Amino acid sequence: MATRIPLAERLRPRSISDYVGQRHLLGEDAVLYNAISRKNVPSMILWGPPGVGKTSLAFLIAKELDRPFFSLSAIKSGVKEVREVIDKAEQLQNFNQEQPILFIDEIHRFSKSQQDSLLGAVERGLVTLIGATTENPSFEVISALLSRCQVYVLESLDKDDLIGLVHKAIKEDEFLKNDKIILKEYDALLRVSGGDARRLLNVLELVVNAAVPYNIPITNDFVLKQVQQNMARYDKTGEQHYDIISAFIKSIRGSDPNAAVYWLARMIEGGEDPSFIARRLLILASEDIGNANPNALLLANNCFQAVNVIGWPESRIILSQTVTYLASSAKSNASYEAINKAQALVRQTGDLSVPLHLRNAPTKLMKELDYGTEYKYAHAYSGNFIEQEFMPSAIEGTTLYNPGKNSSEDKLRSSLKEKWKGKYGY
């Protein structure tokens, strides 16, 4: 009997209208929707978590534009394969054929030389590049290539999207629609999916195959039991990848060095890229420790540099040192919360005017308009501080940074309280 194609593959959307999620990009009058409608799609990087439809979207764009479609995986392809595709694109151009779409999955795994090999083809208009990545392209894609691409951020699917996918699978899939599926609860399916449509459909198929032959209702308990029995192995390219890194980060955040080093070992034994682990530690050092222990960021940065120089197996020792230190450190997310609040305030209040005394005054006219005239140079005063207003008048006194409750930030709080005399509520 032939092997059945996985449900997630069987349920791939056939058109843009069939595509689930990403309404901020593909809703009516949204930026990417308009570009597709005008058949004027730029080279782009699709950045988002796994299972949100990056590959499907690239294919649908090519289908909608009626363009040739070439697909490469950065894991399996190198400069040789890229050049072969570029040669084919040149041949198409010579015969006045439509410009092809070149889709590169996991483009963040391409080396600098591999990305350089793409640059000329994109510059010359031989291909429209669509790269997919789960990593921040600012760090992983060379600046010359990134500057020639639009970056579109894809979001995890919401609850309604995921439930809609479950119903679609049960009603429309060629195999599932013939099964007598008794679906009583959704929560565990949605929780296990983590907003990943591919994982949701894979788990649904796994659970249906276990339930239907025995006429068993699909409940939350039944789903969790099946998942635990069938998905325990770590696979750096599979669904457990993001579960393990999530457990790892949460263990460090939760100040449990024992659990943290266990999850680290799981990733090491699974063959994870040490740079991927070190990058996560660097982010965590600011997001979850911050000013409670500024040395954490220094150590994490040194760890990131070291593992990129040393590699396996010695990097495991450096990672272990950093992981146990970060897990044991005092924690604070005050800096993380501060920038979140500040960005939300900017979105709410818009482009407020910079106070006159803080403005730059490079010209005579600006000086005559009193730009900067009332500014007080802090270093000219005792203690390198003089009270003055640095916020736009509409949001004076708004507190964005609230130091955490730990010995390091307690000192910061005391210093700020002494300087600002209660202005910001310290």
pLDDT tens digits, one per residue of 320-331: 999 999 999 989
| DSSP result, 113-145 | HHHHHHHHHHHTTS-EEEEEESS-HHHHS-HHH
Beta bridge partners of 102: 70, 129
Sequence-separated (6 or more) residues with CB below 8 Å from residue 352: 392, 394, 395
Give the model's confidence band at 229: pLDDT under 50 very low, under 70 low, under 90 confident, else very high.
low
pLDDT tens, position by position, 196-211: 888 889 889 888 888 8
pLDDT at 371 over 60: no
Residue 1 has pLDDT above 70, yes or no: no
Is the pTM higher than 0.75? no
CA dist., res. 358 & res. 392, Å (int)? 10
Confidence of residue 303 (pLDDT cuts 50, 70, 90): very high
pLDDT at residue 339 tops 80: yes
Per-residue pLDDT tens over the stretch 209-220 = 888 888 888 888
Q: Each residue of 403-419: pLDDT tens digit?
A: 888 888 888 888 888 88
pLDDT band at 232 (very low <50, low <70, confident <90, very high): very low
Q: Of the given ranges (43-52, 243-252, 367-376), which has the lowest mean pLDDT?
A: 367-376
Quick one: pLDDT band at residue 280, thresholds 50, 70, 90? very high
Looking at domain 159-230, which CATH architecture does it have? Orthogonal Bundle (1.10)
> CATH says 21-153 is which class?
alpha beta
Residue intervals of the chain classified under CATH 1.10.8.60 are 159-230
In whole numbers, what is the pLDDT of the chain averaged over residues? 84
pLDDT over 60 at 369, yes or no? no
| The pLDDT of residue 304 | 92
Residue range(s) of every CATH 3.40.50.300 domain in the chain: 21-153
Classify residue 9 as exposed, middle or buried by CB count within 10 Å of its CB (0-12, 13-18, 19+). Answer: exposed
**Per-residue pLDDT reduced to its tens digit, 143-167:** 889 888 999 999 888 888 899 999 9
Q: Where in the chain is the domain with CATH 1.20.272.10?
A: 240-328
CA–CA separation, 165 vs 150, rounded Å?
Answer: 29
**240-328 is classed in which CATH architecture?**
Up-down Bundle (1.20)
Percent of the residues in the chain that have a pLDDT greater than 70, as a whole number: 93
Task: Say if residue 240's pLDDT is above 70.
Answer: no
Query: How confident is the model over 386-395, as pLDDT tens digits?
Result: 888 888 888 8
H-assigned helices in 39-78: 54-65
pLDDT band at 60 (very low <50, low <70, confident <90, very high): very high
